[in-house]
Structure 1
Amino acid sequence: MKSLDIAGILVKKPKTVLLVYTIIMFLIAFNAKNLYMESDLGKFLPEDEPTIKLLKYIGEEWNIGDTLIIYVESDDVLDLETLKDIDYVTNKINPYRHDRGELDGIVSETSITSLIKLKNSLPPPAGEGKYELPSSESKIMKYVARIGEARKTVLTDDYKASAVVFTLSSDADEKEILKRAEDAVASVDTKMYLVGTLPLRDSLREWNLRSMAIIFPLAIFFVSIVLFAFHRSFKGLIITFLPTAYSIFMTFGILGIVRPQLTMLSIAIVALLLGLGVDYSIHLMNRFLEERGDHIKKARKSIATTGKAVLLSTITTAIGFGSLMISSMAPLRDFGFGCSLGIVLCFFSTLIMVPPLIVVLDFREKVEVPAWKRLAKFATKNSSRIVFLGVAIAIFSIAVFPKVGTDVNYFSMAPKDNPVVLKTKEFSERFGSSGSLNLIMVEGDLKDPKVIKEIYNMEERMRSDFRIHNAGVTFVSIADIIKKINLEDLPDDSIRLQLIYSLMEDKIETAIDEDFSKTLISVNIPIGLSMEQQKEVVTAINSIIYNTSIPGGKVYPITGATPINVAINDLLFEQQTRSLFLSILLVFATLILIFRSSLHAFLTIIPVIFVLLLEPGILVSLGISLSVVTISIASIIVGTGVDYGVHITKRYLEGVEEGLGKEEAMEKAIEGTGLSLVEAALTTVAGLLAVYFVNVPALQEFMKVVISMIILSLLGAVFFMPALYRLKKI
C-alpha cells in the first residue's frame, strides 16, 4: 500500500514534487565544484604493487617527481645564438642549479648546453675552466664530439632538434614551474615546445574536464533525435531527459563530496548514465501511457509493474558496475562507484519525476508499430534456427579468443589533435623517448672502484642482450660518466675515483646520494614498442639484475613508466575475470530472488552470457585490444544487457498470471516491451556516440565495443531468450 500512496502523491501534487526535488538536486549538484581530474597512468596500479612501491621510495629518497622537457627545433641547434636561447630558458626555469629542487622545484637538468658547459669547465687544455658556453663555434663542435653517444639523448644526429630535460622535485609547485617555462619559451626567438609527463598531464587534465562539458550536450542532441523519431513530441523529450539530467548533476555533486578525483574513464560516465537513465524514463512513461483510467490508477499500475522491472534493472546494472569496485585499480573502482551511484539516482529520479511530468505536461501520445506483432511471432516460432545460429556464432568467437591482445598505451588515452600530445609524439619519434622516467636503483659503497666496475659490467651485459639492444634501449649511469671523464677508462683506486667525483661538480648531486651509498641508472626505453616488446625488455633487464652481485650492496628491479605499463597489462585479464565472475554471480542471485525461480533467472541471464561469449570476436574483428579502458566493458554489459531480458521475463510472467498460454504470453511480452527495448537500446547507443567526438582512440574503442554488445544484448533478449523459453516448454 505504501507504493500506492506514493503514486497518489506524485500525480496529485506534481508541481510541488518537482519543485522540492529540483531544490534537492541543486543543493547536491553544487558540490561538483570540488571535482578535479587525475591523468596519471600509475594510478591504475594498486599502491602495494612492487613497481609502484619502489618508484615511490625512489621519489621520496631522491626527491624526484615529474619530468618537463623543452623540445627545441632549429635549422642548426649548435648555432651560438640558438644555444644562448636554450641556456637562457634553462636558467629561467632552473635558476638555482645547486639547490636540489628546494628553492626552484628543479632537481636536475640535462641539455646540450649543460653538457657543453661541463666540458668547457674542465681545466686547460681540455677546457677553459669556466662553466659557461664558449664563444668559439669550433670549440662547441669539439666539445660535442667529445660528449659522444651521450649527446643523443638531447641532440639529434642532424643537429636540427634538441631536448632540455628537467626533473622536478616530488613536492614541486607544478603550475608555477609550467608558468615559468611558458614565459621563458615565449621570450626567445628559437622554436621551443613544452612536452613530457608534466605538460602532457596538465594538458590532458584540462582537456578531460572540457570533454565532459562537450559530451553532455552532444549526448542530449543525439538521444533527442532518437526520442523525437519515436514520439514526435518535445513533451516526450522533456519527460525522458529531465530525470536523467537531474541524476547526472546529483551524481557528480555526490562524487564531489566523497570521491572528487576523476579520471579519463569518468568521461564515459556522462554518456552511459544519459543513455541508460533515459531508458528507465522510456519504460515507465510508455507503461503509464499504455494503462487505462485516471492518473492515479495509471501511476499505481505502472509503478507496481514496470516500476518493479525498472527497480530490478537498476539493481542488476548497479551490480554490473559495482563489481568493478573490487578491482585493485583505483580508477576502475572510482568508475564503478560513479556509475553505480548514478544508476541508482536515475531510478529514483525516474520514479519521482516521470509521473508528475506526464501530468503537468498533459502528455498522452503512445507509439504503435503494428509490424512489431509479426516480429514477436517470428521470435517465438523460429526458436531452433535462432538458437543454432547463436551457438554457431558463439563458437566462432570463442575460437578467436587466443588472438585477443592486451595493450597499455598512454597515447591511446590522449586526444589526437591536442597540441601537446602531437609535439610529445613528434619528440618521441625523434628521440625515441616520451621523457618518462625508467630507473634502476643500486645500493653499495660508491667510493669503491669495484662497485663502479660492477655497475658498468651489468650495463654492458644489458647492452649486449639482443632483446634489449634490438629494442633500442640505452642506459646512463654514474659509471658511464666516470668513464667519460677518466678518458674512457674506469679508475682502479679510490683516490683517483674521489678526484673524478670532485670534477663532476653539481652533477654528482643528481647521480649519487649524500653518503655515496645509492645511485640511479637512467634507462631510456623508446616509445612505440609493442606490449610484448616492453614486457620482453623489462623481463630481460630484471633477469640480468637478479644475476648481478654488487660487492656489499644490491640492485633493485627496474621501475618507472615502462614497468608500470607491463604491470598494468599483466593485471588486465585477472581484473576482468574477477569483476565479471562476481557480477554474473550477483546478478543471477538477484534474478532468483526477484523472480523466485532459478529457471527464469537462468533463462534471463543466458542471453547476456551469450553476448559475453561474443566479446572476443568483436575485439578481434574490430582490431581492438583489452586495455585499462575496455577492461570494464564485460562487467558493464552484464548489468546493462540483462535489463532487456528482465523486462521481457517480467511481462511474460504477468501474461501467465493473467491466464494467457505460455507461447501467447511470450508473444505479448515481446509485443508489449519490444518497442520500448529498441527505443531504450537506441538511446543508449546515441548517448555513447557522443564519446566518439572527444577524439580519444581508447574511448572511441570503448564506445565501439559497448555499442556492439548493447545491440547484441537487445537481439539476444528479443530473439534468443524467447527461443530458449519455447525450447524448454516452460
Structure 2
Amino acid sequence: MTEISAGAARLETFGVGVLRWRWPIIALTLLFVVFMAAGGQYIKISNDSRIFFSEDNPQLIAFEALEATYTEANTVLIAVAPKPDTQSTSIFTNDALAAVSELTELGWLLPFSTRVDSLTNYSHTWADEDELIVEDLVPVTGELSIQDLARVEDIALNEIQLVNRLVAADGGTTAVLVNFVLPDESGEAVTEISDQVKDIVAAARLAHPELNYYVTGSIITSRAFGDATFDDLATLGPIIIGVILVVMALLLRSITGTIATLLVVLFAAITAMGFAGWTGMILSSGNVGAPTIIMTVAIAHSVHIISTIMLGMRTGLAKREAILESLRVNFFPVFLTTITTAIGFLSMNFSDAPPFHNLGNLVALGIVAAMIFALTFVPALVYILPFRVRPRRTGQAEFFDSLGAFVVRRRTPLLFGMTAIIIGLAAGVPQVELNDNWTKYFDDRYEFRRDTDYIINNLTGVEAFEFSLPAGGEGAINDPEYLARVDEFAEWYRGQPKITHVSAFSDIMKRLNMNMHGDDPAYYRIPEEHDLAAQYLLLYELSLPFGRDLNDQIDVAKSATRMTVVGRDMSAKEQRASADAANQWLKDNMPAEMVTEATGLTMMFAYISKRNIEGMLKGTVIAMAIISLILIVALKSIPIGLLSLVPNFVP
C-alpha cells in the first residue's frame, strides 16, 4: 500500500467513525461547550490603562519609581465654563466661583482622594510686613464684590502655576483637579470614583444651569477603556453573527449548512472566552475583539466542509458518501491552515503589551477549537439533519470553476499585473509612521472624547511629561545653584512647541523670595542663599493647610524635585520627539547628577506602539520561518512551500 492510499484509508476510517458515533459526538460537543461557557462568569474585565504594559516595560518601571518617590498620578479633572448663551464669558463671577468651590469640597469626599486643587483653594501667598500669609485665593465668605472679583482674576491670570492648568489664559474656563491613591485592585475603585464623579457633576449642572461641565483625567480614561470594552462585546458580537447568517444563507442556500456553520463559530468563540474565564485571564480593550476575530476566521473551516458535501451531492453522491469525501478532501488542508494560522496569532506573544498576548492565545485556541468542531460536529450534525441540495444541471458552470479557468487562461497578464500592484503598494510601507494619539482611540460617541477635546482646545493639554530632578543630597533642593538650573530647564521647556504649562519647584521659591521682600516684583527670582531658601520653604510648608503639602513636588529627604510639563494635542511621535529633546538638553546643560529622563503615563503610551511593532516584527519573522518549514514538509516541495508564503506576506 502506498503512503497516499494509507493516508486515505486512515481518513476513511476517521470519517466512518465520526458518522458511526455521531450522537455521542454531538452530545459530548454540547457538554463541552456548556462547560466552557460556564467559565464566562469568571471573566475579568480590567479598565486599568496600565494593563497594556508588561512588568519589565522601562517606561512603566520609571513611572512607578516616580510615583514611589512623590505621589501617584491618578486624576480626575472637572472643567467648568459659562454656557455660550449666557451673558458672561468669564469664570470670574460669583456663580462660577461658587460652583468651583462646591466641586472642590465634594472632591475631598470622593473615595481614595488625597488632594484637590482648584482656583478657589489655590494657596495664594503674600506679605504682611515681615509675615508670610498663605490663604485660599477665593475665601468662602459669600459673594465677592466687583473689586474682589477683579483682584482674584488679576492674581489668577498672572500666576504661572495656574494659567493653562487650572484656569485658561482668557479666563473662560477653569478646573478642579482631584488626585487619588488607588488600591492594588484598582478596577472597582475606578468604577466607584467615576460613578460618583458623574453624580456630583450631574448635581452641579442642576445647581448651576448657567455653566457647562467637562470631565477627563486618567481615572476617566481608564473608565472609558472599560466602557469601550463592554460596548464592543455588546455590539460587535451580534453584528458578526448577523453577517454570518446572511452571508451563509446567500452562499450555501441551506438551512442546515447555515445552522452548522453558525454553531461552529459560536462554539469556537465560547470555548476561547470560557477558557479565559476558567484560567483567570484578564480582558481589556486590547483583547476583547478575540471573539469577533475567531468567528471571522473560523467560518472558513465549516464552509469548506459543507460546500464540498454539497458539491458531492450535486454530482450524484449520497449524503453519507459526500460527507466521507468532504472529510477526505478537506481534512489535510483544514488542519494545515489551522496550524499555520494559529502559529501566526501565537506570534503576538512577542508584543510588549500583555493584552495582545492574551488576544493571540485566545484566537489561536478558538481557531483550533473551530477546526475540531468542523471536522467532527459538522459532519455528525449534517448527517443527522435533513440536508438537500439542488442537483447541478448539465453544462452549468460554478462561479469558481469559471474563475479558475479565467486565471489559467490569463495567467501571464495576471502575474505581471498583480506583481506591479504589489510592488506599487509595497512602496508605501516606508511611509508608515509609528504614531498615534490615545484620546483619538475613542470617537465622538463617547462623552469622554468630547469633554477631553473641549479641555484640550480651551484649557490645558492632557499629555504630561514628568521629570524627577536630583539635587545631589539631602536638603540640596534649597541650593540656589540647583534651583537656578531647575528654573533654566523649566524656561527652556516653556518655549517648546505645543507646551502649555510647566510646573517647577523653582517657581514656588521665586514667589516666596518675592513675598519675603515685601512682594516687590524685582525679587521674583531664586533666593541667593541656601539657608535663606530653606527658611522660606519651611515657613511656607508650616503655613499650608491640610492636603495642600508639597509631597507631590519634593521628596521626603528634600533631595529631588518633580517637574511636570503639560503638552496639548500631541501625537505619540511629537511626544517622543519632545521627550528626546528634553533628555538631550539635560545631558548638554546639566551636571551629571541632574541628568534624568522624561517619564509618566504619556510617555508609556508614546512608546507602546513603537515597542509593540518592534516585538511583533520579530514575532512575525519567527512565525513565518516556522510556517515555511511546515509548508515545505507538508507539501514535500521547497518551491511550492515557499510560493505558498506569498499570499501570507502580501496582505
CA deviation profile, 1:614-658 (whole Å, cap 9, x unmatched): xxxxxxxxxxxxxxxxxxxxxxxxxxxxxxxxxxxxxxxxxxxxx
Aligned to 2:227: 206
- Give the deviation of 1:334 after TM superposition: 1.8
CA deviation profile, 1:349-374 (whole Å, cap 9, x unmatched): 11221112212222122696534333
CA deviation profile, 1:176-229 (whole Å, cap 9, x unmatched): 333443333233323433311211221330231232121111111112221111
Task: Select the residue among 24, 29, 37 that pairs with 2:32.
Answer: 24
Matched, 1:537 2:546: no
Task: Select the residue among 218, 222, 225 that pairs with 1:197.
Answer: 218
CA distance in 2, matches of 1:557, 1:566: 14
- For structure 2, which runs of at least 5 residues remain unmatched after alignment? 1-8, 83-88, 515-523
Aligned to 2:180: 168
Within-5 A mapping of 1:474-553: 474-487=501-514, 488-501=524-537, 502-504=539-541, 505=544, 506-527=548-569, 529-549=570-590, 553=593
Task: Select the residue among 101, 110, 113 that pairs with 2:117.
Answer: 110
CA distance in 1, matches of 2:229, 2:99: 33
Task: Select the residue among 252, 260, 266 that pairs with 1:231.
Answer: 252
Aligned to 1:85: 99
CA distance in 1, matches of 2:485, 2:150: 30
Matched, 1:322 2:330: no
Matched, 1:373 2:410: no
Report the CA distance shift for 1:120/1:164 in structure 2 as closer, same or farther (over 3 A): same
CA distance in 1, matches of 2:127, 2:203: 31
CA distance in 2, matches of 1:132, 1:470: 31
The answer to which structure has the higher helix fraction is 1
Check whether the contact 2:435–2:609 (CA below 8 A) recurs between aligned residues: yes
Aligned to 1:353: 377
CA deviation profile, 1:541-561 (whole Å, cap 9, x unmatched): 11122235469x434211013
Alignment partner of 1:503: what SS?
helix
Matched, 1:182 2:182: no
CA distance in 1, matches of 2:582, 2:486: 10
Aligned to 1:706: none
Check whether the contact 1:230–1:367 (CA below 8 A) recurs between aligned residues: no
Report the CA distance shift for 1:89/1:186 in structure 2 as closer, same or farther (over 3 A): same
- Give the deviation of 1:123 after TM superposition: 5.1
- Give the deviation of 1:79 after TM superposition: 1.6
Alignment partner of 1:516: what SS?
coil
Matched, 1:133 2:138: yes
CA distance in 2, matches of 1:500, 1:536: 37
Matched, 1:156 2:168: yes
- Give the deviation of 1:125 after TM superposition: 10
CA distance in 1, matches of 2:399, 2:33: 41
Aligned to 1:588: 628
Alignment partner of 1:384: what SS?
helix
- Give the deviation of 1:312 after TM superposition: 0.7
CA distance in 2, matches of 1:88, 1:371: 71
CA deviation profile, 1:369-415 (whole Å, cap 9, x unmatched): 53433322221122221111122122222333322222122123223
Within-5 A mapping of 1:423-502: 423-434=451-462, 436-444=463-471, 445=473, 447-448=475-476, 451=479, 453-461=481-489, 463-464=491-492, 469-487=496-514, 488-501=524-537, 502=539
Alignment partner of 2:90: what SS?
coil
Check whether the contact 1:37–1:263 (CA below 8 A) recurs between aligned residues: yes
Report the CA distance shift for 1:39/1:272 in structure 2 as closer, same or farther (over 3 A): same
CA distance in 1, matches of 2:493, 2:77: 29
Report the CA distance shift for 1:289/1:12 in structure 2 as closer, same or farther (over 3 A): farther
Report the CA distance shift for 1:129/1:472 in structure 2 as closer, same or farther (over 3 A): closer
Superposition TM-score, scaled by structure 1 size = 0.76
CA distance in 2, matches of 1:517, 1:366: 84
One-letter amino acid of the counterpart of residue 536, structure 2: I
Aligned to 1:389: 417
- Give the deviation of 1:120 after TM superposition: 6.8
Report the CA distance shift for 1:532/1:150 in structure 2 as closer, same or farther (over 3 A): same
One-letter amino acid of the counterpart of residue 92, structure 1: L
Alignment partner of 2:624: what SS?
helix
Superposition TM-score, scaled by structure 2 size = 0.85
- Give the deviation of 1:530 after TM superposition: 3.6
Matched, 1:402 2:430: yes
Check whether the contact 2:166–2:174 (CA below 8 A) recurs between aligned residues: yes
Please identify, of 243-252 and 144-153, the stretch whose mean Cα deviation from structure 2 is larger.
Answer: 144-153
One-letter amino acid of the counterpart of residue 182, structure 1: K
Task: Select the residue among 325, 334, 352 that pairs with 1:310.
Answer: 334
One-letter amino acid of the counterpart of residue 558, structure 1: A
Aligned to 1:601: 641
CA distance in 2, matches of 1:407, 1:130: 44
Report the CA distance shift for 1:408/1:367 in structure 2 as closer, same or farther (over 3 A): farther
Aligned to 2:356: 332
- Give the deviation of 1:532 after TM superposition: 3.6
Check whether the contact 1:592–1:598 (CA below 8 A) recurs between aligned residues: yes
CA deviation profile, 1:103-145 (whole Å, cap 9, x unmatched): x523333211122xx2278658999765473343433432442
Report the CA distance shift for 1:210/1:124 in structure 2 as closer, same or farther (over 3 A): farther
Report the CA distance shift for 1:180/1:128 in structure 2 as closer, same or farther (over 3 A): farther
Report the aligned-residue RMSD: 2.8
CA distance in 1, matches of 2:276, 2:405: 46
One-letter amino acid of the counterpart of residue 168, structure 1: F
Check whether the contact 1:446–1:516 (CA below 8 A) recurs between aligned residues: yes
CA distance in 2, matches of 1:402, 1:544: 30
One-letter amino acid of the counterpart of residue 162, structure 2: R
Check whether the contact 2:350–2:357 (CA below 8 A) recurs between aligned residues: yes
Aligned to 2:269: 248
Alignment partner of 1:217: what SS?
helix
Alignment partner of 1:522: what SS?
strand
CA distance in 1, matches of 2:597, 2:468: 8
Please identify, of 31-40 and 539-548, the stretch whose mean Cα deviation from structure 2 is larger.
Answer: 31-40
- Give the deviation of 1:573 after TM superposition: 4.3
- Give the deviation of 1:238 after TM superposition: 0.1
Alignment partner of 2:56: what SS?
coil
Aligned to 1:142: 151
Matched, 1:563 2:603: yes
- For structure 1, which runs of at least 5 residues remain unmatched after alignment? 97-103, 612-708, 710-730
Matched, 1:14 2:35: no
Aligned to 2:441: 413
One-letter amino acid of the counterpart of residue 452, structure 2: T
One-letter amino acid of the counterpart of residue 272, structure 2: T
- Give the deviation of 1:464 after TM superposition: 3.4
CA distance in 1, matches of 2:39, 2:126: 57
Check whether the contact 1:263–1:331 (CA below 8 A) recurs between aligned residues: yes
Alignment partner of 2:91: what SS?
coil
CA distance in 2, matches of 1:359, 1:305: 17
Alignment partner of 1:57: what SS?
helix
- Give the deviation of 1:521 after TM superposition: 0.7
Check whether the contact 2:45–2:284 (CA below 8 A) recurs between aligned residues: yes
Check whether the contact 2:232–2:289 (CA below 8 A) recurs between aligned residues: no
Alignment partner of 1:282: what SS?
helix
Report the CA distance shift for 1:131/1:535 in structure 2 as closer, same or farther (over 3 A): closer
CA deviation profile, 1:241-298 (whole Å, cap 9, x unmatched): 1011011011101012335222323243222211221110010112233336555544
Check whether the contact 1:525–1:562 (CA below 8 A) recurs between aligned residues: no
Alignment partner of 2:116: what SS?
strand
CA distance in 2, matches of 1:384, 1:30: 55
Check whether the contact 2:465–2:598 (CA below 8 A) recurs between aligned residues: yes
Aligned to 2:517: none
Please identify, of 597-606 and 311-320, the stretch whose mean Cα deviation from structure 2 is larger.
Answer: 597-606
Check whether the contact 2:168–2:460 (CA below 8 A) recurs between aligned residues: no
